């Protein structure tokens, strides 16, 4: 199902979020046409991607449901790595899964620069061979210490090692790559939830940014 757009209009010293651009400012009632460039509706970019269309990526999605389908911000996330065709390799109690569906609404973190032709050509082979390791058998799975994140980060580090680069700890990878994306996603989810309940969501701007 297509994701419904979120628009932002700036007026009356506030960001006004909505699904459809209003003709009148919901805060002051004045027409928005002719109110200046800031009052023009801007579509917010979604932080979510169709995971099966994101090759060579680290993906995150809720373990159950979807980010915009009732996710509460506290439930567990599941992670995986895509091959060149968008098949999502992920580790669970059942061992390594190679999913061709189910990751249609994800946070996606690209892992390979487009100019790294050698790595792009080897990616699928490296991912498949890594996933056959005994460490990822079903009976080795532990929810807290040896899980989907362990698997995905271990693969990333195996690639870094092969390139002669320093490995990343879980904390480093999370801080550098995951947290910035999840913060964006959290804000977007809040807007989505607010606009599910009402037509407008108004957020006052700090004084230096106030425009009308």
Cα separation, 63 vs 96, in Å, equals 15
pLDDT of the residue at 209: 52
Cα separation, 90 vs 98, in Å, equals 7
Residues with pLDDT less than 50, the chain: 1, 212
pLDDT of the residue at 62: 95
Q: What is the DSSP string of 105-122?
A: SBEEEE-S-TT-HHHHHH
What SS3 state is found at 184?
helix
pLDDT of the residue at 33: 82
Burial 13-40 (b: 16+ CB within 10 A, else e): bbbbbbeebbeebbbeeeebeebeeebe
For tokens 């992920």, the residue is 90
Span 93-130, pLDDT tens digits:
999 999 999 999 999 999 998 888 889 899 999 999 99
Q: Which residues contact 180 (CB under 8 A, 6 or more apart)?
A: none
Span 58-80, pLDDT tens digits:
999 999 889 998 788 778 899 99
Question: Is the CB of residue 97 less than 8 Å from the CB of residue 90?
Answer: yes
pLDDT of the residue at 148: 98
Characterize the bridge pairing of strands 77-82 and 88-92: antiparallel
pLDDT of the residue at 111: 95
């Amino acid at each position: 199902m297509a994701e419904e757009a979120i628009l932002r209009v700036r007026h009356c010293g506030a960001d006004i979020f909505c699904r459809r651009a209003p003709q009148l400012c919901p805060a002051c009632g004045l027409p928005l046409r002719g109110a200046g460039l800031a009052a023009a509706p801007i579509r917010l970019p979604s932080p979510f991607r169709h995971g099966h269309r994101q090759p060579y990526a680290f993906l995150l999605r809720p373990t159950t449901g979807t980010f915009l389908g009732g996710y509460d911000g506290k439930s567990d996330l599941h992670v995986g790595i895509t091959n060149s065709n968008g098949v999502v390799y992920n580790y669970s109690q059942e061992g390594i899964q190679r999913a061709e569906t189910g990751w249609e609404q994800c946070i996606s973190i690209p892992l390979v620069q487009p100019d790294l032709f050698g790595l792009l050509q080897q990616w699928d082979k490296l991912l498949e061979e890594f996933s056959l390791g005994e460490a990822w058998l079903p009976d080795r799975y532990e929810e807290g210490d040896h899980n989907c994140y362990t698997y995905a980060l271990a693969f990333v580090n195996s690639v870094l090692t092969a390139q002669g680069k320093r490995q990343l700890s879980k904390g480093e990878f999370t801080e550098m790559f995951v947290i910035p994306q999840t913060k964006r996603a959290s804000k977007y989810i809040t807007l989505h939830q607010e606009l599910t309940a009402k037509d407008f969501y108004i957020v006052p701007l700090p004084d230096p940014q106030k425009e009308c």
